[in-house]
Each structure stands twice: as structure tokens, then as C-alpha cells.
Amino acid sequence: MSSFTLPQLPYAYDALEPYLDKETMTIHHQKHHKAYVDNLNAALEQADEKDDDLDSLLQRISEYSPAVRNNGGGHYNHSLFWEILSPSPRLNPEGKLAEAINTTFGSLDHLKAEIKKGGLGQFGSGWVWLYVKFNGSLAVSSTPNQDNPMMDIQSANRGFPILGIDVWEHAYYLAYQNKRADYLDSFWAVLDWASVEKKYEEVLSKIK
């Protein structure tokens, strides 16, 4: 049967302070993300399903139960979130990604404004994404709960995520309380554009 595991963080829980505090990071990873992994494994076992490829599973999520959708999304989304954060990030995109951002959004600042708008506009829990459409172009969208653009239940805004910001309250409330806008602004100080570029290149090679 499938057995997904909780990924280890590539940095200490306090490494992203003061932007993301140690207590939030610890709870977020050890409690919330771990619960998604455990519940995903349990849901797949109960359904007598085996699917060790999380990307493939999400792209066919309409075939699975709500428990697989919620927890599979939770595992994928958080794994991406940890991967693109760094205590010593490169703070600006370069190369093909920088060109695509300028072409699509006009500038990096305009992209950040679009992402902030999407994050603030997501009512309740969810995520805001920078993703690559199936035609290779960039787009921004938000999704509720643990959904993401890769899932085939999306009637629009489908593609491959390369940057995601968790706007569930558990991601920021201890430090920012109800100030989601401040959290979204602080996020850029720990986003590693080198990691986002790597994801971008992987996606482009996949859709060509």
C-alpha cells in the first residue's frame, strides 16, 4: 500500500525568524502537515488504493474520496511550501522565469501585488499560487482548503504550481493574528527564488 512520509525541513524551525516564528513552524510541520500525511495514508488504505505518485494522484483527484483530496492536497501543498522557503534566499528571480514574470505581469512588484490580492481575497482557509498553465504561461490564482491548480476538479485555473503561500490561519496567526496582509508581505523575505526557478524549469521540461 501507499506510504507517504513527512519530509524533513532543510532548515531549523527557528531559521526563518522573525518572518516565520519557531512555534508556528514547529506546529505547522509536526502537527498539521504530519496529520495530512497520516490521514492520506489511512484514506488510501481504507479504499484499498495504491498510488505512490502524488502528482499523478492529484491530477486524477476526482477519482478519489474527499479524504484523499483534502489530505493529498495538504501533503503536496505543504511539501512545496517548505521547499521554496530558505533562511538565506535569493530574493529575485533570474533567467527565463524573470523574463516570463515581466512578460506576464509587467514586473516582479506587479506579480507580488497580484499574489497579495489573491491571498487577501481567499475567503477563509486556502492557498494562493503562482503556477504554470498547460500552455507554458504563468498565472496567479487562489484555491480553498487544500486544493491546488494541479487537481482535475478545477474547472479553470489549471496547471502546475511553482510557488504557493499557505493562508490558513495556522500558518501565521500566532505571530500576525488577523493581519494576513502583513504575513503576505513578510513571506517575500524568506522566499528562495532559486527554488522557484528550479520548479519552473522542471515544469517546462514536463509540458514540452
What domains lie within the chain, and their CATH numbers? 21-208 (3.55.40.20)
Average pLDDT per run of 10 along the chain, which is 208 residues long? 87 98 98 98 84 88 95 98 98 97 98 98 97 96 98 92 98 97 98 98 91
Evaluate whether 140 touches 104 at the Cβ level (below 8 Å): no
Q: What is the pLDDT of residue 37?
A: 97
Distance CA 57, CA 31 (A): 23
Q: What is the pLDDT of residue 207?
A: 87
Helix (H, G, I), strand (E, B) or coil at 183: helix
Q: What is the pLDDT of residue 116?
A: 98
Chain centroid offset of residue 51 CA: 21
Q: What is the pLDDT of residue 51?
A: 67
Q: What amino acid occupies position 159?
A: G
Chain centroid offset of residue 180 CA: 16
User: Is residue 171 packed enough to be buried (19+ CB in 10 Å), middle (13-18) or exposed (0-12)?
Assistant: buried
